Amino acid sequence: MKSEGKAKLNAFHAKIFGKNKFKYRYAFTGYALLAPAFILLTVFVVVPLLIAIVRSFFDYRSYADVQKFVGLDNYLTIIRTTSFVNSFLNALLFAVIIVVAQLLLSFSFAHVLKADKSGFGLVTRAIVYIPYLISGVAASIVFLFMTNYGGGLINGILLQLDMKPIAIDMEKTWARVFVILPTLWLGFGYNALVMYAGLINIPKDYYEAATLDGANWWNKLIKITVPSMMNYFLLTIVGLLTGALAMFEIPFMMTGGGPLESTLTPVLYLFNNYRNVLQSSSVTIAGAILVMIIIGTLNSVVFFLVQSKKSEDD
């Protein structure tokens, strides 16, 4: 009887689901596993984002009985603010320098790691990754000790050489340099290991075939290595671009956005602006949404320009 009942059940499933029988068998389990992540994402990301978007169209003040609808006025206010525009120009400058420098440095160092066949290579990979585990605040404190005008390591060396000390809170160029340097130091190890992972996954057969065809190292780099690394370049560029445009801890700790807003970033500007009790917080929220839109747009452009392809070993 049980066998007959099971046979009828299977026939019923086959009739209802047909070829999709196995497709729906574990659907409940799959949805159950996805549910916690979906709930957390909805509660802590989607809902706050929707609330922020709605609030950006109002003149929101906590002490007011009725919040006034102002449409796009908050967005127009933040766009017309000179400091906000300057902060984006600074962030774009930082992004260009950091992305280019980090790509070149990490890609070059990844080749060194790949070429090192000794046991020291494993130690090197572990050591170079350590800065990535350090917070931006801690790294800023380290560099502040090094760049202190009165007794910092760098200025101490310059004074011993009878050279003029560096005042990063007074000189725009040096202020930007010492915002970029800690950022490069923190991300260098991680990006180098990402590049290293990409290099060791390129099939050796490609290089052997190119060698037989008489290709030199430059031809191999341009025709094999770079095309095979496009997915890794894309990952690195998107991460660096997003990090540079959302930079906060290092300019906040190192320079406070100065001198003369030369190191002010959009997130640092919004942080300072939010504490302005004379201005509606909706203006700050509108600025934050603009930052999100611009970062998303630039990343979409990167995805469009840097065409990633699935690597195939034919």
User: Which of 83, 77, 59 minimizes the C-alpha distance to 280?
Assistant: 59
Same domain flag for 95 and 188: yes
**pTM of the predicted model, to two decimals?**
0.81
The pLDDT assigned to 146 comes to 83
In a domain, 288, yes or no: yes
Start-end of H helices in 18-117: 21-25, 27-41, 47-55, 73-79, 82-115
The pLDDT assigned to 313 comes to 47
CATH, residue 181: 1.10.3720.10
Alpha-carbon gap, residue 39 to 29, rounded angstroms: 16
Alpha carbon of residue 286 to chain centroid: 21
In a domain, 311, yes or no: no
The pLDDT assigned to 107 comes to 93
Alpha-carbon gap, residue 194 to 302, rounded angstroms: 18
Query: Cβ-count burial of 200 within 10 angstroms (0-12 exposed, 13-18 middle, 19+ buried)?
Result: exposed
In a domain, 67, yes or no: no
In a domain, 61, yes or no: no
In a domain, 114, yes or no: yes
The pLDDT assigned to 314 comes to 43
The pLDDT assigned to 164 comes to 82
The pLDDT assigned to 275 comes to 77
Pair 133, 189: CB distance under 8 Å: no
CA end-to-end distance (rounded Å), the chain: 54
Tokens of 166: 């560096």
How many structural domains is the chain composed of? 2
Half-sphere exposure of 305 (CA within 13 A, CB side): 9
User: Which of 257, 285, 297 minimizes the C-alpha distance to 77?
Assistant: 285
The pLDDT assigned to 103 comes to 93
Alpha-carbon gap, residue 236 to 188, rounded angstroms: 11
In a domain, 209, yes or no: yes
Reading the chain (314 residues) residue by residue, the pLDDT tens digits are 556 655 665 665 555 555 555 555 667 777 888 899 999 999 998 999 999 899 888 887 655 566 778 888 889 988 998 999 999 999 999 999 999 999 999 999 998 888 887 777 778 888 888 888 888 888 888 888 888 776 677 877 887 888 888 877 788 888 899 899 999 999 999 999 999 999 988 888 888 888 888 888 888 888 888 888 888 898 899 999 999 989 999 999 888 888 888 899 999 999 988 877 777 788 888 999 999 998 889 888 888 887 655 544 44
Same domain flag for 196 and 234: yes
Residues in the chain: 314
Region for 18 from its dihedrals, namely left if φ exceeds 0, alpha if ψ lies in -120 to 50, beta otherwise: left
Same domain flag for 51 and 86: no
Start-end of H helices in the chain: 2-17, 21-25, 27-41, 47-55, 73-79, 82-115, 120-129, 136-147, 153-160, 172-200, 204-212, 217-220, 226-228, 230-245, 249-254, 266-274, 281-305
Q: Which domain holds residue 13?
A: 2-55
Alpha-carbon gap, residue 206 to 209, rounded angstroms: 5
In a domain, 286, yes or no: yes
Which residues, including other chains, have CB under 8 Å from residue 172's CB and lie 6 or more apart?
A: 259, 260, 262
Alpha-carbon gap, residue 270 to 248, rounded angstroms: 10
